[in-house]
Structure formats: structure tokens, C-alpha cells
Amino acid sequence: MSVKFRHYGRVLFLVVLLLSIIIMTGLTVIRSTAQTEESAIELLEQARGYQKQGLYNEAEENYKDIIEEYPSSELMEEARKNLIIIYVGGDRLAEAKAVFQNLPTEFSGKGELLEAIQTKAYNRIKKKNSLQKAKEIYQFIVNELGGDEYAMWLQTCEVINYIWANEQTAAQNGIDSLRDNYWAHKDIAKAVNKIGDHYYMVKEYQKAGDIFRLVVDCWGQSEYGIRAQLSLIDMAMQLKDETAIEAAINKLQSEFAEHPEINWARIKAGDNYYKRKNYQQALQLYQMAAVAQGQIDLWLQKRLIITYYQLGENSTAEATINKLLTDFANDPEMGEMANRLARQCRKLEKYEKAQALYQYVLDNHPNSDCIVEARVGLLLAGWMSEGSEDVRGTIEKIIADYEGYKNLPEVLLDLCSHFCERANRAEGKGSEEQVRQDYQKAVEVGEKILEKLPDSSVTISSYQLAGDCYRRLGQYDKAIECYQKLLLKEPEAEYNWHVQFLIGQLYQQMRNNRLISKSEANERTQSAYEKVLDDYPSCPAAAAARDWLDHNKAI
């Protein structure tokens, strides 16, 4: 009996031991799986953060790590989806296709992926130089992702390409095809309106007007119906057609009175008037929007204040400012608003008011993100009110003191623009020395931006402004140098054709001023204009470049 008992005891011990091993192994696997999942989640969160900040290389590495190191993780699908979005955004379609092939035929994030890629493609449609990339992305969507509903956008790209190639019959045939095949598509108003935008860009105003009116007639109460009406207003202003302006504004007010975006449209139309210095008309539209809103909108009030100043209604402007500062003293947006108002006052040479607004930010929003701009702005407004000539020294001090401030390049570019605009306004008004001094000051600010902050967000604009000011100062060689650096730095910019054509014109100006010989000027102009035709064959300057080459090439 005891032997038998001992036998059963040993068996029971072995069973218990085996069960313990199984349980411990299971717990270890569970713990390991949980740790694996936690690591993958941590990597994914980090990658999302990188992607949101535009740090695509870092995000790409993290997503690749998730795919390679955690192949069984449920997060791998999202890693692949986001990797595709990064590749499409970077025009790396071959790599995007390779990643997509490893996704299931139907996956949970397909709709989100299609929408994200469509957004990147649509953003490229807006610019002539990236149309081909847009077309390739839409082909990827249709062919690889099975997004047949996006074939309409592929057709839209074809139409816009024809517009820029001046193939009007082919463009019209494409529009007719859109009408025949996609008139019920949910995005057809958006697509047709974008076609109108491109006709407007190439200055085919009759065609653009026909398209915008078509959008208004067919989809008037949609988002793009009211946008098309705004485009008709803008085009009439561009053409200085007062009758058409009045008719378009009246139509906006009457036929879109109940549109949910009518106040936004009034403000935008007011902005168009303001840009063209029609301040009274701008004020009327701003006031109409303010009354319709029934409550004070900070950004609309800013427009009203600056327009009052432009009309010389200084007491009304300052009363509105004082009420705004009192009523919204605790509003978190008030710091940014006060800075923007101060910037505008500085441009209008109302330095005392600018200083008061910057001081308001320092006193009332000391812990906000606006504090550094207020300090810099206060320094600049004081310096400009004193009329100091030491531009380089002042800018160097600001850069040294506030080098880490993320918006410093924008603040300095704004100052550069101010001097340039002031010089533009003074030209032809008998103040040649003041004009020269302001262009020189603009150049000095621009040079400091490029010297001390060479890879900032405003580098391209700084080259453009510096080049323009050098050109006005008659320093054509330096202007050309700035323009050439601009072209190298941003080879896909929308108006590079104009810069390239301008370089050729400047060589001829140097010849006229006897700065270089006729043969050298013609040789360099020929090279500049040939590049216009090679790189931008359908641009507005192509005909003029071709005419010059035909007349001068053999001379």
C-alpha cells in the first residue's frame, strides 16, 4: 500500500511540476507578447510624432523597424499605411507600391489611406510645375489601390495639362468628357472649379469666367459655388472692369445671402478690395460681415482697424483697438492678435501705437508663445521711430539675442518687406534719396537673414526680395546672383519661369548701362532665354523669349 502510495505521489508531483512549467511558460509568453506590443506602440507613437512634425526620414525609420521587428504586431498594418503616405508625399511611388503589395486586399485603414494620398495629389494640382506628379499619384490610386472613384481626378489632371500646353481643343474635349462621365461625382464641383483656376493662371480670362459661371450655375449653393463667385469678383478686379465688379458683388450679396459661408465670402471679397487699395469698399464688406455675425470676431476686427487707419480714421481705429484690448484681455488668442496689429501699425509707420501694442503683450501675456515676437517687435518699432541708420548692427544684435526663437526669420523678413514696400510707395514722388536708402536697408536685412539664418523658412523669399531690391538699386550683377541662388534652392517653385526670364532682361540692362559688352550680354541672355524655353516651354514669357532669340541669336 505504501509502495503504491509513493508511486502515486511521484506521479502527482510530476504532474504538478509539469503544470507549473506550462503555466510559467505561458505567463512568460504572455509577458513577452505584452512587452513586444508595448515596444511596438512606443515606436508607433514616436513615428506619428515625427510624421506630424514633418520629420519624415525619422518617421520612416520607425515604421520600418515596426515592420521588421514586430511582424506579428497588430500595428504593422498602420505602419505600412503611414509608410505609403510618406513615400507618396516624397514622390517615391515605386517604394509605395512595394509596401502596398504586402498589405491585405481589404484592410481597415484603406479609406483613410486613399483620402490621405488624394490630399497630396490634389495639393500638386494647384501648381503647374507639379501637375505630372499629381497625375502619377492618381494613377497609383486608381491602378494600385482600386480607387476607381478617383479616375475623375486623373481626367482633371489631363485637362489642366492641356490648358498649360495651350491645347485648347484637347482641354475642351477633356471638359466634355468630365461632363459625360463624372457629372454626378461627389467632387465634380471642386474639380471643375480647379480647372477654372488654371485658366485664370494662364490668363485665359474668358475661359476662366465661363468655367466659374458654370460652377455657380450648377453647384451654386455648394462650397465651390461660392468660391467660383469669389473668383469672378477677383478676376473682374484684376481686369479693372468696374461694371463686372459691381455685378459680381451684387450677385454674391443677393444669390448667396443664405449660403453658410456668405460672411467668409464677404471678408474674402473685402480682402481683394483691400489688396487693391480700395479701402472704402473693403470697409463696407467688413462692416456688413461684422453686423451679420452679431458678435465680435477677433480677426475681422483686426481687418476693420487696419482699414480705418488706411482711410485716415485714426480715432475710430484706436477706439476699436482699446475696446478690443479691454474686452478680450484674457482671451488666449489676444497675444497673437496684438502682435499682428502691432506689425501692421509698424508698416503704417504708426510706431508709437505699435510699441504700445507690443508692450500690451509683454504686460498681459507674459507666458504665451507671443512674448519673444513682442520683445523683438518693441525693439524694432523703437529703432525705426528713431530713424537709426545702423541696420546691420541692429539686426545682428537681434539675431544674437533671439537666435533660438522659431519665428525670428519671419519677423526679419517682415521688416525687409516693410522697407521694400515703403521704397515702392515713394518711387516717383520726388524722394529719390529716401527710396535708395529704403532699398538699401531692405537689402541689408535680407543679407543678414541669408548670412545668419541660411536654411530658414524664409530663405527663398529673402533671395527674391534681396534680388528685387538690388535690381532697383541698379546692382544688376548682385540681383542676378540672388535670382540664380533662388532657382537652385527651389527648382520647383511656381514662378521660376519669371525669375529665369528676368535674368535675361537684366543682362540686357547691364549692356544698356555699359556694364558688360554687347556680345557678352547677348551670349548670357541667349543662355537665360533658352533655359526659359527648355524648362518652362508653356509659360507666359515663352513667346517673348522665343521672339528675342529669333531676332538676336544670329546677330
Looking at the structure, tell me whether residues 137 and 255 fall in a common domain. yes
Nearest to 364 by CA among 411, 317, 324: 324
- 203-241 pLDDT per residue, tens: 899 999 999 999 999 998 899 999 999 999 999 999 999
Domain boundary among 219, 237, 260: 260
pLDDT of residue 21: 57
Q: Is residue 278 part of a domain?
A: no
143: containing domain: 132-260
Looking at the structure, tell me whether residues 172 and 226 fall in a common domain. yes
Looking at the structure, tell me whether residues 254 and 137 fall in a common domain. yes
Distance (Å) of CA 525 to CA 453, 506, 543, 549: 32, 8, 15, 9
pLDDT of residue 430: 64
Q: Is residue 2 part of a domain?
A: yes
pLDDT of residue 251: 94
> Is the distance from CB of 118 to CB of 141 less than 8 angstroms?
yes
Looking at the structure, tell me whether residues 159 and 92 fall in a common domain. no
What is the number of domains present in the chain? 3
pLDDT of residue 30: 41
Domain boundary among 260, 281, 301: 260
pLDDT beneath 50, residues of the chain: 1, 26-35
Looking at the structure, tell me whether residues 170 and 92 fall in a common domain. no
Looking at the structure, tell me whether residues 143 and 51 fall in a common domain. no
pLDDT of residue 15: 54
Q: Is residue 436 part of a domain?
A: no
Looking at the structure, tell me whether residues 139 and 93 fall in a common domain. no
Q: Is residue 273 part of a domain?
A: no
Q: Is residue 32 part of a domain?
A: yes
Give the CA-trace dihedral at 266, 267, 269, 273, to 10 degrees: 130
Q: Is residue 307 part of a domain?
A: no
Q: Is residue 421 part of a domain?
A: no
Looking at the structure, tell me whether residues 180 and 251 fall in a common domain. yes
pLDDT of residue 419: 86
pLDDT of residue 53: 76
pLDDT of residue 33: 44
pLDDT of residue 161: 87
Nearest to 121 by CA among 89, 96, 147, 93: 89
- CATH code at position 253: 1.25.40
Looking at the structure, tell me whether residues 62 and 145 fall in a common domain. no
- 61-78 pLDDT per residue, tens: 888 888 888 776 677 788
d(CA 63, CA 427): 56
Domain boundary among 221, 244, 260: 260
Distance (Å) of CA 397 to CA 8, 339, 404: 90, 21, 13
Buried-exposed string 153-184: b where 16+ CB fall within 10 A, e elsewhere: bbbbbbbbbbbbeeeeeebeebbeebeeebee
d(CA 549, CA 402): 50
pLDDT of residue 549: 93
Looking at the structure, tell me whether residues 25 and 88 fall in a common domain. yes
> Is the distance from CB of 387 to CB of 439 less than 8 angstroms?
no
Looking at the structure, tell me whether residues 9 and 55 fall in a common domain. yes
d(CA 269, CA 246): 12
Q: Is residue 364 part of a domain?
A: no
Looking at the structure, tell me whether residues 498 and 548 fall in a common domain. yes
Q: What DSSP element (H or E) covers 538? A: none
